[in-house]
């Protein structure tokens, strides 16, 4: 259950949300996207803090930048009906009268007009993300974003493989990622080094851009479970504890993914210590899986599907990711 505000002043986060969503729908005749709403609230929060006002926005750095913590804003409905567009819909009430001439409320209203005018176009969301990432706490986040975006562009052709041109584009970006990895995340040093070794081997083996993009996304999503625990504001300890409790599960899942990547792309390079270890772990899991398979009745298809999922470290579907939230 979400705790009530302890102060008696206006709930500026709630009021600002309502102002933005109303203005956006009035101008565009459809609801604002989750991406734009997140960026508006983040940038408004920064602007007001620079003026000496803290509206106590609950937010954290996560997969797609600086994001509000949805659980702390129960008056919003995040509609995932369309896979490519998450709508944010007002689902609450403003119980108190608020003064439109209040400095914070006036700033929120004026900035909503400015933001909607600037970022409502086709490229608006990416431009807003650029502005948000100007305030990223670690250089690594921006360097990794360049790598992800470049791979995404190169992979627009799903059958594309690396050639000399694409390799020469990717390798310098990857080196910048490695160089900028923040020492604050030493706890995932082993997973990072395994990822680096597999990534290099996949490039050398001429794998598809799609597969290289996939492992890049897998590491990023894994990293972000640690990122949000370190880089947040106005998030209560109860929520932080839930995030922390999720990390062991995500670590195990990512380790299985690394083993799977090693098996698929690196078996001819098993003289490298890290790859050798990952391949052995995959083989051990494979043997256990086959032993379990031999013991199952032929009609236990659901159990078999579950075991295959656990064994492979299956990536979440886009629908699962959208509904996970923060």
Per-residue pLDDT in tens (0 to 9) along the chain, 326 residues? 344 444 568 899 999 999 999 999 999 999 999 999 999 999 999 999 999 999 999 999 999 999 999 999 999 999 876 656 789 999 887 766 788 889 999 999 999 999 999 998 777 788 999 999 999 999 999 999 999 999 998 877 655 666 777 788 899 999 999 999 999 999 999 999 999 999 999 988 888 889 999 999 999 999 999 999 999 999 999 999 999 999 999 999 999 999 999 999 887 655 788 888 999 998 888 788 787 777 766 655 555 565 566 555 554 443 444 344 45
What are the beta bridge partners of residue 59?
Answer: 68, 233
With the CA atoms of 4, 108, 83 and 91 taken in that order, what torsion angle do they form, in degrees rounded to the nearest 10? Answer: 40
Q: Are 58 and 68 in contact (CB under 8 A)?
A: yes
What are the beta bridge partners of residue 67?
Answer: 60
DSSP state of 31: P
- Distance between CA atoms of residues 291 and 190, nearest Å: 29
Q: Give the chain's largest Cα–Cα span.
A: 73
* Residue 188 CB contacts under 8 Å (≥ 6 apart), including other chains: 222, 223, 226, 251
Q: Using CB atoms within 10 A of its CB, is residue 208 exposed (0-12), middle (13-18) or buried (19+)? A: middle
What residue has token string 């909607």? 116
Query: What φ, ψ does residue 99 adopt, rounded to 5°?
Result: -85, 115
């Amino acid at each position: 259950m979400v705790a009530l505000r302890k102060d008696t002043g206006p709930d500026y986060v709630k009021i600002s949300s309502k102002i933005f969503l109303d203005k956006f729908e009035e101008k565009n005749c459809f609801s604002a996207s989750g991406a734009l709403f997140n960026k508006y609230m983040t940038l408004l929060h920064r602007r007001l803090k620079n003026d000496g006002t803290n509206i106590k926005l609950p937010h954290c750095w996560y997969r797609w930048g600086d994001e509000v913590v949805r659980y702390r804003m129960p008056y919003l409905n995040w509609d995932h009906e369309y896979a490519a567009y998450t709508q944010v819909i007002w689902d609450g009430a403003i119980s108190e009268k608020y003064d439109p001439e209040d400095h914070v409320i006036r700033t929120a209203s004026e900035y909503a007009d400015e933001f909607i005018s600037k970022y409502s176009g086709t490229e608006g969301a990416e431009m807003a993300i650029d502005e948000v990432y100007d305030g990223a706490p670690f250089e690594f986040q921006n360097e990794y974003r360049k790598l992800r975006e470049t791979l995404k562009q190169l992979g627009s052709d799903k059958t594309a493989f690396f050639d000399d041109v694409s390799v020469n584009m990717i390798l310098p970006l990857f080196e910048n990622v490695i160089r900028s990895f923040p020492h604050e995340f030493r706890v995932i040093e082993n997973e990072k080094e395994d990822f680096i070794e597999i990534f290099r081997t996949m490039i050398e083996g001429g794998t598809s851009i799609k597969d290289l993009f996939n492992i890049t996304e897998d590491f990023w999503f894994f990293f972000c479970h640690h990122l949000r625990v370190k880089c947040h504001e106005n998030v209560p300890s109860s929520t932080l504890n839930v995030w922390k409790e999720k990390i062991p599960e995500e670590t195990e899942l990512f380790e299985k993914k690394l083993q799977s990547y090693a098996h698929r792309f690196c078996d001819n390079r098993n003289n490298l210590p890290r790859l050798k270890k990952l391949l052995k772990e995959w083989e051990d899991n494979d043997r256990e899986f086959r032993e379990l398979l031999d013991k199952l009745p032929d009609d236990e298809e659901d159990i078999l599907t579950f075991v295959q999922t656990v064994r492979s470290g299956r990536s979440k579907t886009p629908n699962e990711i959208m509904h996970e939230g923060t």
